[in-house]
Amino acid sequence: MGNVEGRVGAFDADTEDEFRMRVRDWLQENLSGDFAAVKGLGGPGREHEAFEDRLVWERHLARAGWTCLGWPVEFGGQDATLEQQVIFHEEYARADAPARVAHIGEQLLGPTLIAFGTDAQRARFLPAITAVDELWCQGYSEPGAGSDLAAVSTSATLVDDAWVVHGQKIWTSLAHVADWAFVLARTEKGSRRHAGLSYLLVPMNQDGITVRPIRQLTGTSEFNEVFFDGARTDASLVVGGPGRGWSVAMATLGFERGVSTLGQQVGFARELSSIVEIARHNGTADDPVVREKLIRAWIGLKVMRAYALATLGGSGSEGEDSVSKLLWATWHRGLGELAMDVVGAPALMAPRGELDRLQRLYLFTRADTIYGGSNEIQRNIIAERVLGLPREARR
């Protein structure tokens, strides 16, 4: 499936060291010329940076075979091992390559379709994901169903040969540039909680959908509200079958916390290194309190990496996913606070009204412990489903 002519090819013959050098050399050669300008751009709180240029870069990646590495070959991937995927993400981050723009399709929807989709769904959507021809967004959270996703009220009714969708989603990353959305909707009237939900694939470019940007503390707007007012999608575009949306949606969240987190940690290490350099330059590193915080941040980063490596390719249990989310989100929010401690009073100023990188880091990381499953919900999951403690009383 898909056109793989000219792609990198299978990696079976490479040792890990050979593969690492292969990735490193390719990135060094290709992040040059016109593409040199996109190095270091994009990412959480900065998705507005050179978006179109980063899209061109990602399609360049696709033509060379560096997208969807872990997917099976028959679906347009490379069947890369977990070790090779880790190496790629680490080297990509070390090269200061731009943040990816099609990660929602590649890392979330693609694996979900491979696991739960029909042959027709895979044939329709997977080639466009590998080629970065179509971009995706995730329609999960709602004003009354954020961390408590089972409270979803967006509804979809089957009318003749189409699902007709009504409702609202919120905090929808990159909805303003997405071609499609995978939407969790209630398709069984009168159903409650986890029952009666379906996982629908909905085209974004239609009259029944309105996207409104949400302006954040950073001044950027990669999150959006999405309103469905009679939006339609084909009856066949339900993944896993009607009423099975909860299990499919949970599987998607499991895919979200995969090998790319190790690349994310390389980016975290770069942020920490820049803060350490500032502390040395402005003398705050001599403050024993600040110095201890810097050391604790370094230790926390090592703990995150050790945990990620220990659980990589494991059961993907709710406990493992929840611990991972708690580790990185809490650490990264703390890094933003540490950055402000190190910079000191100048951090309160924004010349010409523009935030610098560390100010943007601080403001955006305030949300790290909320999006993707809040810390409170992750702790409840660990307490109730892993440790077997009594369930929290529900109102």
The pLDDT tens digits for 183-200 are 999 998 877 787 889 999
In this prediction, residue 8 has a pLDDT band, given cuts at 50, 70 and 90, of very low
For residue 9, pLDDT over 60 is answered with no
Stretch (H or E) spanning 137:
strand 136-139
Which residue among 90, 91, 142, 256 is the active-site one? 256
Number of domains observed in the structure of the chain: 3
Residue range 48-52: average pLDDT?
Answer: 87
Residue 302 lies in domain: 257-387
pLDDT score, position 191:
74
Paired tokens of 235: 């009856």
Q: Are residues 164 and 61 in the same domain?
A: no
Q: Are residues 263 and 199 in the same domain?
A: no
Q: Are residues 224 and 263 in the same domain?
A: no
Decide: 373 and 257 in contact? Cβ < 8 Å. no
pLDDT score, position 143:
84
For residue 317, pLDDT over 70 is answered with no
Q: Is residue 207 part of a domain?
A: yes
Supply the angle between the helices 318-343 and 288-311 in degrees, to the nearest 10.
160
Q: Give SS3 for 179.
A: coil
d(CA 201, CA 340): 42
Q: Of the candidates 242, 272, 298, which is a domain's last residue?
A: 242
The whole-chain average pLDDT of the chain stands at 86
Q: Of the candidates 78, 100, 122, which is a domain's last residue?
A: 100
pLDDT score, position 170:
85
Decide: 164 and 185 in contact? Cβ < 8 Å. no
Q: Is residue 65 part of a domain?
A: yes
Q: Are residues 379 and 320 in the same domain?
A: yes
Q: Identify whether 256 is a catalytic site residue.
A: yes
Decide: 261 and 108 in contact? Cβ < 8 Å. no
d(CA 356, CA 195): 46
Q: Give SS3 for 315.
A: coil
Phi, psi of 177 (to 5 degrees): -120, 0
Q: Are residues 87 and 148 in the same domain?
A: no
Q: Going by C-beta distance under 8 Å and a sequence separation of 6 or more, which residues neighbour residue 1?
A: 74, 75, 76, 122, 123, 126, 127
Q: Is residue 31 part of a domain?
A: yes
Q: Is residue 108 part of a domain?
A: no
Q: Are residues 194 and 271 in the same domain?
A: no
Q: Is residue 152 part of a domain?
A: yes
Q: Is residue 28 part of a domain?
A: yes
pLDDT score, position 300:
94
d(CA 198, CA 377): 22
Decide: 38 and 98 in contact? Cβ < 8 Å. yes
For residue 237, pLDDT over 50 is answered with yes
Q: What is the pLDDT of residues 244-301, one digit of tens each?
A: 888 898 888 777 666 667 767 878 888 898 999 999 999 999 999 999 999 999 999 9
pLDDT score, position 3:
36
Q: Are residues 157 and 278 in the same domain?
A: no
Q: Is residue 118 part of a domain?
A: no
d(CA 14, CA 84): 9
In this prediction, residue 137 has a pLDDT band, given cuts at 50, 70 and 90, of very high
Q: What is the pLDDT of residues 15-35, one digit of tens each?
A: 888 899 999 999 999 999 989
Residue range 154-180: average pLDDT?
Answer: 92
Q: Of the candidates 200, 215, 242, which is a domain's last residue?
A: 242
Q: Is residue 110 part of a domain?
A: no
In this prediction, residue 5 has a pLDDT band, given cuts at 50, 70 and 90, of very low
pLDDT score, position 24:
94
Q: Are residues 270 and 378 in the same domain?
A: yes
Q: What is the pLDDT of residues 56-65, one digit of tens each?
A: 999 999 999 9
* CATH number of 230's domain: 2.40.110.10
d(CA 122, CA 77): 13
For every residue of 329-387, DSSP letters joined together read: HHHHHHHHHHHHHHH-GGGG--GGG---HHHHHHHHHTTTTTTTS-HHHHHHHIIIIIS
d(CA 3, CA 130): 9
Q: Are residues 209 and 316 in the same domain?
A: no
Decide: 57 and 38 in contact? Cβ < 8 Å. yes
Paired tokens of 144: 């009354």
Using a pLDDT cut of 70, give the percent of the chain over it: 92
Distance in angstroms between the alpha carbons of the first and the last residue of the chain: 49
pLDDT score, position 199:
95
For residue 229, pLDDT over 70 is answered with yes
Residue range 144-152: average pLDDT?
Answer: 71
Q: Are residues 145 and 95 in the same domain?
A: no
